[in-house]
Structure 1
Amino acid sequence: MLTLAILGFLHDEPLHGYELKSRITGLTGHIRPVSDGALYPAIARLEKAGLLARRSEPGSGAVPRQVLELTAGGRAELERRLADPAEAEISDQIRFFTVAAFLDRLADPARQAAVLRRRLAFLETPSSFFYDADGRPVTAEQERNPFRRGMLLVARASGAAERAWLSETIEELEGGPAS
């Protein structure tokens, strides 16, 4: 997720590390904050792999600031990751939202729709936070614990909204009814 966010934000424009961290934090920070101990080693790995480059630019003081920019290889890697997200990037909501935040960088609407179809298929698979003794999902109507019932009701509403958005967007991308 961090690599995808780095590549995605640098696709938009060159940034220095602090700006990049601020944007990533804005995307996922309240749920999964990014630390310097995770960000800067990830940047170093991407730079070593030739996916981004660093250049010096005059700073506000005497020290030049280091600006990061995506290379052609970085653009290709971003496109590869967006076209074929890992299963965890489909099944985990925050990771999927990171994919969705940059999915417009994938130029082909059919490929965008294919990613959304994977997420929709995942959401249409029955699941629950809680299961009964026989391994069947517990519904909000069956749950007696009011806090668990609340979790199930919120998840149901959120899932319905996301499925509606996915179906609508797939239809727009494909120019016909979503199935």
Structure 2
Amino acid sequence: MLELSILGFLAEEPLHGYELKERIKSLSGHVRPVSDGALYPAITRLIKAGKLDEHAEPGVSAAPRRILSLTDKGHEDLLERLRHPKQVEITDQVRFNTVLAFLRHLPDRREQAAVLRRRLEFLDAPSSFFYRGGKPVRAEEADDLFRQGMLRVARATGAAERAWLAEAIELLDPPGEGQAN
């Protein structure tokens, strides 16, 4: 997800490393913090792979700033990652939010809708934090106040997300316009 965030933010504009780190922190840092020890090696890998370009610009102080920009190869990689997110990027809320943050860069609305359909299918499958006898436990069946709370909040959040996904899919790929089911 770190590489997706790097590619996604640099698709919007060239940035220096610190500013890129701050944007990534704003996106998911409260849940999954990004360290310099993870960010800068990822940037180096992407530069070596020809997906990022870097050049120096004069800084505010004496030190020059390292400005990063997306190459054509990096842009193609970003689009491929958005077209075909890994299953964990569909099922994990924070990872899915990272995909959502950059999905607008995918130019084909049907491809955008296909990603949203995958998330909706995942959310529509019966699941729970807790199981009894191999079946998901619903909030009304939870054996304590705190588990009831977790399940009620998850149900409400899931309902809101499913409603938004259905609306977005309909806007992106209305029925009767070549939708692939």
Query: Which TM bucket (shorter chain)?
Result: over 0.9
User: What residue identity is the alignment partner of 1:131?
Assistant: Y
Aligned-partner SS, 1:141: helix
Once residues 25 and 47 of structure 1 are traced to their aligned partners in structure 2, the CA distance between those partners, rounded to angstroms, is: 21
Aligned-partner SS, 1:53: strand
Aligned to 1:173: 172
Aligned to 2:37: 37
Aligned length: 178
How far residue 144 of structure 1 moved from its aligned partner, in angstroms, is 2.2
- For 1:125-151, what per-residue CA distance to the aligned partner results, in whole angstroms no more than 9, with x for missing partners? 00000011x111111000121111100
User: What residue identity is the alignment partner of 1:141?
Assistant: E
Superposed, 1:97-176 pairs within 5 Å as 97-132=97-132, 134-176=133-175
TM-score, scaled to structure 1: 0.97
Aligned-partner SS, 1:94: helix
TM-score, scaled to structure 2: 0.96
C-alpha RMSD of the superposition: 1.3
Once residues 28 and 105 of structure 2 are traced to their aligned partners in structure 1, the CA distance between those partners, rounded to angstroms, is: 19
Aligned to 1:77: 77
> How many percent identity over aligned positions?
62
How far residue 176 of structure 1 moved from its aligned partner, in angstroms, is 3.5
Correspondence 1:16 to 2:21 = no
User: What residue identity is the alignment partner of 1:153?
Assistant: R
Aligned-partner SS, 1:127: coil
Once residues 56 and 155 of structure 1 are traced to their aligned partners in structure 2, the CA distance between those partners, rounded to angstroms, is: 47
User: What residue identity is the alignment partner of 2:23?
Assistant: R
User: What residue identity is the alignment partner of 1:76?
Assistant: E
Aligned to 1:92: 92
Instruction: List, as ranges, runs of 4+ consecutive aligned residues in structure 1 with deviation greater than 3 Å.
Output: 176-179
Once residues 15 and 175 of structure 1 are traced to their aligned partners in structure 2, the CA distance between those partners, rounded to angstroms, is: 37
- For 1:16-62, what per-residue CA distance to the aligned partner results, in whole angstroms no more than 9, with x for missing partners? 11000000000001111111111011101111101001100010111
Once residues 112 and 44 of structure 2 are traced to their aligned partners in structure 1, the CA distance between those partners, rounded to angstroms, is: 29
Q: Which ranges in structure 2 are unaligned for 5 or more consecutive residues?
A: none
